[in-house]
Amino acid sequence: MSDKGFQLILPPVLGKAFYNYGEIPSDARPGDIFIIRHGKSMTKEGMLAAAISSGEHILAEISQPDLKDYCWPSHVAICSSVENGVPMLSEIGPAGFAVRSLKGYAAECFAHIRLDLTDEQRAGVLSNNNAMSGAEYGWLQYFDIALDALTHGSLTGTWGTTLICSTHVTLALMGSGIFFPSIAPTSVIPAHFAMWFDMPTPANLKEIESATHDAAVLVNAHAVSRVLHETVYTPSHPKRGESSPEFKASKKALEEVSATCWVCGKTAQESGSPLEGHHLNTEFSLANSVDIDKIRESFPNAKSVEDWLDSVENLILLCQVCHRSPLRGVHMVTMPAWIVQKYQRDGWDLVNGDQPGPSKAIVSGAMDTSGFYPEH
Protein backbone atom coordinates (compact mmCIF):
# COMPACT_ATOMS: atom_id res chain seq x y z
CA MET A 1 0.00 0.00 0.00
CA SER A 2 1.21 3.54 -0.65
CA ASP A 3 1.67 6.16 2.04
CA LYS A 4 -0.51 8.71 0.28
CA GLY A 5 -2.85 10.50 2.65
CA PHE A 6 -0.96 9.39 5.80
CA GLN A 7 0.88 11.75 8.12
CA LEU A 8 2.88 10.50 11.10
CA ILE A 9 1.61 11.65 14.48
CA LEU A 10 3.48 10.38 17.55
CA PRO A 11 2.46 10.58 21.20
CA PRO A 12 4.86 12.31 23.61
CA VAL A 13 7.52 10.06 25.13
CA LEU A 14 8.49 10.06 28.81
CA GLY A 15 11.57 7.95 28.24
CA LYS A 16 13.04 5.08 26.25
CA ALA A 17 15.78 2.54 26.86
CA PHE A 18 17.33 -0.67 25.58
CA TYR A 19 17.32 -3.82 27.71
CA ASN A 20 19.10 -7.15 27.32
CA TYR A 21 17.85 -10.70 27.77
CA GLY A 22 16.33 -11.27 31.22
CA GLU A 23 16.19 -7.60 32.26
CA ILE A 24 12.89 -6.17 33.51
CA PRO A 25 12.13 -2.42 33.35
CA SER A 26 10.71 -1.11 36.61
CA ASP A 27 8.76 1.80 35.16
CA ALA A 28 6.46 0.17 32.58
CA ARG A 29 2.81 1.17 32.40
CA PRO A 30 -0.14 -0.19 30.39
CA GLY A 31 -0.07 1.26 26.89
CA ASP A 32 3.73 1.38 26.63
CA ILE A 33 5.45 -0.04 23.56
CA PHE A 34 7.98 -2.89 23.55
CA ILE A 35 10.12 -3.20 20.41
CA ILE A 36 11.65 -6.67 20.49
CA ARG A 37 14.38 -8.72 18.83
CA HIS A 38 13.81 -12.47 19.09
CA GLY A 39 16.69 -14.90 18.81
CA LYS A 40 17.10 -16.67 15.48
CA SER A 41 16.66 -20.22 16.78
CA MET A 42 15.29 -23.26 14.98
CA THR A 43 11.91 -22.83 16.66
CA LYS A 44 8.94 -21.52 14.69
CA GLU A 45 9.29 -18.18 16.48
CA GLY A 46 13.04 -18.05 15.82
CA MET A 47 12.73 -18.86 12.12
CA LEU A 48 9.98 -16.28 11.76
CA ALA A 49 12.21 -13.70 13.47
CA ALA A 50 15.01 -14.46 11.01
CA ALA A 51 12.63 -14.10 8.05
CA ILE A 52 11.25 -10.79 9.35
CA SER A 53 14.74 -9.40 9.92
CA SER A 54 15.81 -10.38 6.40
CA GLY A 55 12.62 -8.89 4.97
CA GLU A 56 13.21 -5.59 6.76
CA HIS A 57 16.69 -5.28 5.28
CA ILE A 58 15.37 -6.06 1.79
CA LEU A 59 12.58 -3.50 2.20
CA ALA A 60 15.12 -0.90 3.28
CA GLU A 61 17.26 -1.62 0.22
CA ILE A 62 14.57 -1.53 -2.45
CA SER A 63 11.99 1.02 -1.34
CA GLN A 64 12.43 2.48 2.17
CA PRO A 65 16.08 3.52 2.70
CA ASP A 66 15.16 5.43 5.87
CA LEU A 67 14.77 2.03 7.60
CA LYS A 68 18.41 0.98 7.08
CA ASP A 69 19.56 1.89 10.58
CA TYR A 70 16.47 0.45 12.26
CA CYS A 71 16.17 -3.14 11.00
CA TRP A 72 17.16 -4.80 14.29
CA PRO A 73 13.69 -5.72 15.72
CA SER A 74 11.57 -8.68 14.66
CA HIS A 75 8.57 -8.04 16.90
CA VAL A 76 6.57 -5.39 18.70
CA ALA A 77 4.06 -5.65 21.56
CA ILE A 78 1.91 -3.56 23.88
CA CYS A 79 2.12 -3.58 27.68
CA SER A 80 -1.42 -4.45 28.71
CA SER A 81 -0.81 -4.65 32.48
CA VAL A 82 1.88 -4.87 35.15
CA GLU A 83 1.70 -7.77 37.61
CA ASN A 84 4.00 -7.86 40.64
CA GLY A 85 6.30 -5.40 38.92
CA VAL A 86 6.53 -7.44 35.71
CA PRO A 87 5.05 -6.11 32.42
CA MET A 88 2.52 -8.36 30.72
CA LEU A 89 2.79 -8.07 26.94
CA SER A 90 -0.17 -8.34 24.58
CA GLU A 91 1.04 -9.49 21.20
CA ILE A 92 0.23 -11.24 17.97
CA GLY A 93 2.53 -14.19 17.27
CA PRO A 94 2.46 -17.46 15.32
CA ALA A 95 -0.22 -18.80 17.71
CA GLY A 96 -2.36 -15.66 17.36
CA PHE A 97 -3.24 -13.13 20.04
CA ALA A 98 -1.64 -13.85 23.41
CA VAL A 99 -0.61 -12.19 26.66
CA ARG A 100 2.82 -13.17 27.97
CA SER A 101 4.91 -12.15 30.95
CA LEU A 102 8.17 -10.36 30.23
CA LYS A 103 9.77 -12.56 32.90
CA GLY A 104 11.49 -15.36 31.03
CA TYR A 105 10.54 -13.81 27.69
CA ALA A 106 12.75 -15.16 24.89
CA ALA A 107 14.19 -11.90 23.54
CA GLU A 108 17.80 -11.11 22.68
CA CYS A 109 17.10 -7.48 23.47
CA PHE A 110 14.23 -5.02 23.45
CA ALA A 111 13.44 -1.34 23.67
CA HIS A 112 10.87 -0.02 26.11
CA ILE A 113 9.10 3.16 24.97
CA ARG A 114 7.40 4.95 27.88
CA LEU A 115 4.52 6.95 26.48
CA ASP A 116 3.20 10.11 28.14
CA LEU A 117 -0.50 9.26 28.00
CA THR A 118 -3.43 10.34 30.11
CA ASP A 119 -5.49 7.65 31.83
CA GLU A 120 -8.17 8.15 29.21
CA GLN A 121 -5.67 7.74 26.38
CA ARG A 122 -4.24 4.57 27.96
CA ALA A 123 -7.76 3.21 28.30
CA GLY A 124 -8.30 3.83 24.58
CA VAL A 125 -5.12 1.88 23.73
CA LEU A 126 -6.17 -1.05 25.91
CA SER A 127 -9.71 -1.00 24.54
CA ASN A 128 -8.42 -1.32 20.97
CA ASN A 129 -5.95 -3.98 22.12
CA ASN A 130 -8.64 -6.06 23.82
CA ALA A 131 -10.85 -5.80 20.72
CA MET A 132 -8.20 -7.80 18.84
CA SER A 133 -8.24 -10.67 21.36
CA GLY A 134 -8.73 -13.92 19.48
CA ALA A 135 -7.18 -12.62 16.25
CA GLU A 136 -5.16 -15.09 14.20
CA TYR A 137 -1.70 -14.50 12.81
CA GLY A 138 -1.61 -12.92 9.35
CA TRP A 139 1.01 -14.99 7.63
CA LEU A 140 -0.08 -13.82 4.17
CA GLN A 141 0.14 -10.15 5.16
CA TYR A 142 3.86 -10.34 4.48
CA PHE A 143 3.09 -11.01 0.81
CA ASP A 144 1.04 -7.81 0.81
CA ILE A 145 3.96 -5.86 2.28
CA ALA A 146 6.41 -7.41 -0.21
CA LEU A 147 4.09 -6.69 -3.14
CA ASP A 148 3.72 -3.11 -1.99
CA ALA A 149 7.51 -2.70 -1.77
CA LEU A 150 8.27 -4.32 -5.14
CA THR A 151 5.68 -2.25 -7.03
CA HIS A 152 6.10 0.93 -4.95
CA GLY A 153 2.44 0.81 -4.04
CA SER A 154 0.97 0.25 -7.51
CA LEU A 155 -0.13 -3.31 -6.65
CA THR A 156 -1.42 -4.37 -3.25
CA GLY A 157 -3.39 -7.17 -1.69
CA THR A 158 -5.53 -7.74 1.38
CA TRP A 159 -5.85 -10.94 3.39
CA GLY A 160 -8.95 -10.74 5.53
CA THR A 161 -8.97 -9.92 9.23
CA THR A 162 -5.78 -11.66 10.34
CA LEU A 163 -3.00 -9.52 11.85
CA ILE A 164 0.74 -9.36 12.28
CA CYS A 165 2.37 -7.94 15.40
CA SER A 166 3.09 -4.47 14.04
CA THR A 167 -0.43 -4.00 12.67
CA HIS A 168 -1.83 -5.05 16.05
CA VAL A 169 0.27 -2.50 17.93
CA THR A 170 -0.47 0.22 15.37
CA LEU A 171 -4.23 -0.27 15.71
CA ALA A 172 -3.99 -0.45 19.51
CA LEU A 173 -2.03 2.82 19.72
CA MET A 174 -4.47 4.55 17.42
CA GLY A 175 -6.97 4.10 20.25
CA SER A 176 -5.09 6.81 22.16
CA GLY A 177 -6.29 9.41 19.66
CA ILE A 178 -2.78 10.93 19.46
CA PHE A 179 -0.98 8.36 17.33
CA PHE A 180 -1.27 7.92 13.60
CA PRO A 181 1.17 6.03 11.33
CA SER A 182 2.81 7.45 8.22
CA ILE A 183 1.66 4.42 6.23
CA ALA A 184 -1.35 2.11 6.29
CA PRO A 185 -1.48 -0.03 9.45
CA THR A 186 -1.26 -3.21 7.37
CA SER A 187 2.08 -2.06 5.89
CA VAL A 188 3.77 -1.32 9.22
CA ILE A 189 6.66 -3.59 10.25
CA PRO A 190 8.65 -3.62 13.53
CA ALA A 191 11.45 -1.54 12.01
CA HIS A 192 9.00 1.34 11.53
CA PHE A 193 8.47 1.57 15.29
CA ALA A 194 12.23 1.60 15.84
CA MET A 195 12.54 4.41 13.30
CA TRP A 196 9.55 6.43 14.51
CA PHE A 197 10.79 6.40 18.11
CA ASP A 198 14.45 6.74 17.04
CA MET A 199 15.84 3.50 18.45
CA PRO A 200 18.55 2.59 15.91
CA THR A 201 20.34 -0.75 15.76
CA PRO A 202 22.52 -1.13 18.89
CA ALA A 203 26.23 -0.78 18.11
CA ASN A 204 26.94 -3.88 20.22
CA LEU A 205 24.26 -6.09 18.64
CA LYS A 206 26.74 -8.90 17.90
CA GLU A 207 27.81 -9.00 21.54
CA ILE A 208 24.17 -9.01 22.64
CA GLU A 209 23.43 -11.96 20.35
CA SER A 210 26.40 -13.90 21.71
CA ALA A 211 25.55 -13.18 25.36
CA THR A 212 21.93 -14.12 24.81
CA HIS A 213 22.91 -17.43 23.23
CA ASP A 214 25.11 -18.24 26.24
CA ALA A 215 22.28 -17.37 28.64
CA ALA A 216 19.69 -19.25 26.63
CA VAL A 217 21.59 -22.54 26.88
CA LEU A 218 21.75 -22.26 30.69
CA VAL A 219 18.96 -24.18 32.41
CA ASN A 220 17.97 -22.64 35.72
CA ALA A 221 18.06 -24.76 38.89
CA HIS A 222 14.90 -26.82 39.23
CA ALA A 223 13.49 -29.99 40.77
CA VAL A 224 12.53 -32.97 38.62
CA SER A 225 9.87 -35.34 39.98
CA ARG A 226 8.76 -38.45 38.14
CA VAL A 227 7.24 -41.86 38.73
CA LEU A 228 9.12 -44.82 37.28
CA HIS A 229 7.65 -48.26 36.66
CA GLU A 230 10.04 -51.18 37.16
CA THR A 231 9.48 -54.84 36.42
CA VAL A 232 12.18 -57.39 37.35
CA TYR A 233 11.64 -61.12 36.90
CA THR A 234 13.22 -62.84 39.92
CA PRO A 235 14.36 -66.47 39.58
CA SER A 236 13.69 -69.05 42.28
CA HIS A 237 15.90 -68.51 45.31
CA PRO A 238 16.14 -69.50 48.99
CA LYS A 239 13.93 -67.51 51.32
CA ARG A 240 15.88 -64.65 52.85
CA GLY A 241 16.54 -65.21 56.51
CA GLU A 242 19.33 -64.28 58.86
CA SER A 243 22.45 -63.00 57.14
CA SER A 244 24.95 -65.74 56.21
CA PRO A 245 28.24 -66.13 58.10
CA GLU A 246 30.02 -65.00 54.94
CA PHE A 247 27.91 -61.82 54.81
CA LYS A 248 28.61 -61.03 58.47
CA ALA A 249 32.34 -61.67 58.02
CA SER A 250 32.52 -59.45 54.93
CA LYS A 251 30.56 -56.67 56.62
CA LYS A 252 32.90 -56.80 59.63
CA ALA A 253 35.93 -56.70 57.36
CA LEU A 254 34.60 -53.60 55.61
CA GLU A 255 33.87 -51.90 58.94
CA GLU A 256 37.44 -52.54 60.08
CA VAL A 257 38.73 -50.71 57.02
CA SER A 258 36.23 -47.82 57.17
CA ALA A 259 33.10 -47.90 59.30
CA THR A 260 31.35 -45.23 57.24
CA CYS A 261 28.58 -45.07 54.64
CA TRP A 262 30.04 -45.55 51.16
CA VAL A 263 27.90 -42.67 49.84
CA CYS A 264 27.55 -39.96 52.50
CA GLY A 265 30.56 -40.89 54.64
CA LYS A 266 28.67 -40.92 57.95
CA THR A 267 29.30 -43.34 60.75
CA ALA A 268 26.54 -45.35 62.42
CA GLN A 269 26.46 -42.84 65.26
CA GLU A 270 26.23 -39.86 62.90
CA SER A 271 23.47 -41.43 60.82
CA GLY A 272 21.47 -42.60 63.84
CA SER A 273 21.36 -46.32 63.02
CA PRO A 274 23.71 -49.24 62.33
CA LEU A 275 25.38 -49.34 58.94
CA GLU A 276 23.88 -51.89 56.56
CA GLY A 277 25.52 -54.17 54.01
CA HIS A 278 24.36 -53.75 50.41
CA HIS A 279 24.94 -56.18 47.56
CA LEU A 280 26.26 -53.74 44.99
CA ASN A 281 26.74 -55.78 41.80
CA THR A 282 24.29 -58.66 42.25
CA GLU A 283 21.33 -58.74 44.60
CA PHE A 284 20.70 -61.85 46.74
CA SER A 285 17.34 -62.54 45.03
CA LEU A 286 18.93 -62.37 41.54
CA ALA A 287 21.92 -64.60 42.22
CA ASN A 288 20.44 -67.50 40.24
CA SER A 289 20.23 -65.31 37.13
CA VAL A 290 23.92 -64.51 36.77
CA ASP A 291 26.79 -66.29 34.99
CA ILE A 292 29.98 -66.87 36.99
CA ASP A 293 32.09 -66.52 33.84
CA LYS A 294 30.74 -63.00 33.27
CA ILE A 295 31.39 -62.17 36.93
CA ARG A 296 35.00 -63.33 36.55
CA GLU A 297 35.51 -60.83 33.72
CA SER A 298 35.31 -58.12 36.39
CA PHE A 299 36.28 -60.16 39.45
CA PRO A 300 38.83 -62.82 38.39
CA ASN A 301 39.14 -64.30 41.91
CA ALA A 302 35.46 -65.25 42.14
CA LYS A 303 35.26 -69.01 42.75
CA SER A 304 31.48 -69.41 42.50
CA VAL A 305 28.38 -67.23 42.54
CA GLU A 306 27.55 -68.48 46.03
CA ASP A 307 30.99 -67.62 47.46
CA TRP A 308 31.26 -64.29 45.63
CA LEU A 309 27.73 -63.06 46.46
CA ASP A 310 28.47 -62.21 50.11
CA SER A 311 32.15 -61.39 49.61
CA VAL A 312 33.73 -57.96 50.12
CA GLU A 313 33.87 -57.64 46.32
CA ASN A 314 30.06 -57.51 46.16
CA LEU A 315 29.29 -55.60 49.38
CA ILE A 316 29.43 -51.96 50.42
CA LEU A 317 28.38 -50.30 53.67
CA LEU A 318 25.47 -47.85 53.57
CA CYS A 319 23.51 -45.89 56.13
CA GLN A 320 19.78 -46.59 56.09
CA VAL A 321 19.07 -43.32 54.25
CA CYS A 322 21.46 -44.03 51.38
CA HIS A 323 20.35 -47.67 51.37
CA ARG A 324 16.57 -47.70 51.69
CA SER A 325 14.99 -44.21 51.99
CA PRO A 326 12.33 -43.25 49.41
CA LEU A 327 14.13 -40.30 47.78
CA ARG A 328 17.81 -41.11 48.33
CA GLY A 329 18.24 -44.88 48.77
CA VAL A 330 19.82 -47.16 46.18
CA HIS A 331 16.73 -49.40 46.28
CA MET A 332 14.40 -46.47 45.61
CA VAL A 333 16.00 -44.13 43.03
CA THR A 334 17.83 -44.53 39.73
CA MET A 335 21.60 -45.06 39.69
CA PRO A 336 22.49 -41.58 38.27
CA ALA A 337 20.53 -39.86 41.05
CA TRP A 338 21.81 -42.18 43.78
CA ILE A 339 25.52 -42.33 43.04
CA VAL A 340 26.01 -38.58 42.53
CA GLN A 341 25.30 -38.12 46.24
CA LYS A 342 28.77 -39.56 46.93
CA TYR A 343 30.37 -36.65 45.07
CA GLN A 344 28.10 -33.67 45.74
CA ARG A 345 29.58 -30.73 47.59
CA ASP A 346 28.92 -30.04 51.27
CA GLY A 347 25.65 -28.16 51.77
CA TRP A 348 24.02 -29.60 48.63
CA ASP A 349 21.17 -32.05 49.10
CA LEU A 350 20.00 -34.31 46.25
CA VAL A 351 16.33 -33.47 46.80
CA ASN A 352 16.42 -29.91 48.13
CA GLY A 353 19.49 -28.38 46.48
CA ASP A 354 21.50 -25.73 48.33
CA GLN A 355 20.88 -25.89 52.07
CA PRO A 356 21.94 -23.16 54.51
CA GLY A 357 22.29 -25.75 57.28
CA PRO A 358 22.62 -29.55 57.48
CA SER A 359 20.65 -31.48 54.89
CA LYS A 360 17.38 -32.92 56.08
CA ALA A 361 18.61 -36.25 54.81
CA ILE A 362 21.59 -36.45 57.18
CA VAL A 363 20.41 -34.94 60.46
CA SER A 364 21.12 -37.30 63.35
CA GLY A 365 18.35 -38.53 65.62
CA ALA A 366 15.03 -40.32 65.31
CA MET A 367 13.78 -40.80 61.78
CA ASP A 368 10.48 -41.93 60.32
CA THR A 369 11.33 -45.05 58.31
CA SER A 370 7.77 -46.13 57.49
CA GLY A 371 8.28 -45.41 53.79
CA PHE A 372 11.67 -47.07 53.54
CA TYR A 373 12.43 -50.10 51.42
CA PRO A 374 12.19 -53.21 53.68
CA GLU A 375 15.30 -54.08 55.63
CA HIS A 376 16.88 -57.32 54.49
**pLDDT tens, residue by residue, 258-309:** 999 999 999 999 999 999 999 999 999 999 999 999 999 999 999 999 999 9
Residue 227, C-beta contacts closer than 8 angstroms, at least 6 positions apart: none
From 195, 216, 237, the end of a domain falls on 216
Task: Note whether 37 and 77 are within 8 A (CB).
Answer: no
- Name the more confident of 213 and 89: 89
* Average pLDDT along the chain: 85
Domain co-membership, 173 together with 318:
no
Residue 238 belongs to a domain: no
pLDDT(92) > 80: yes
Domain co-membership, 109 together with 197:
yes
Residue 289 belongs to a domain: yes
pLDDT(210) > 50: yes
Domain co-membership, 271 together with 171:
no
Domain co-membership, 175 together with 270:
no
Measured CA distances, 257 to 157, 311, 319 (Å): 84, 15, 16
Question: Structural domain tally of the chain?
Answer: 2
pLDDT per residue over 49-90, tens digit each?
777 878 788 888 888 899 999 999 999 999 999 999 999 999
Domain co-membership, 123 together with 42:
yes
Measured CA distances, 226 to 230, 333, 335, 359 (Å): 13, 10, 15, 22
Domain co-membership, 187 together with 53:
yes
Mean pLDDT calculated for residue range 107-111: 88
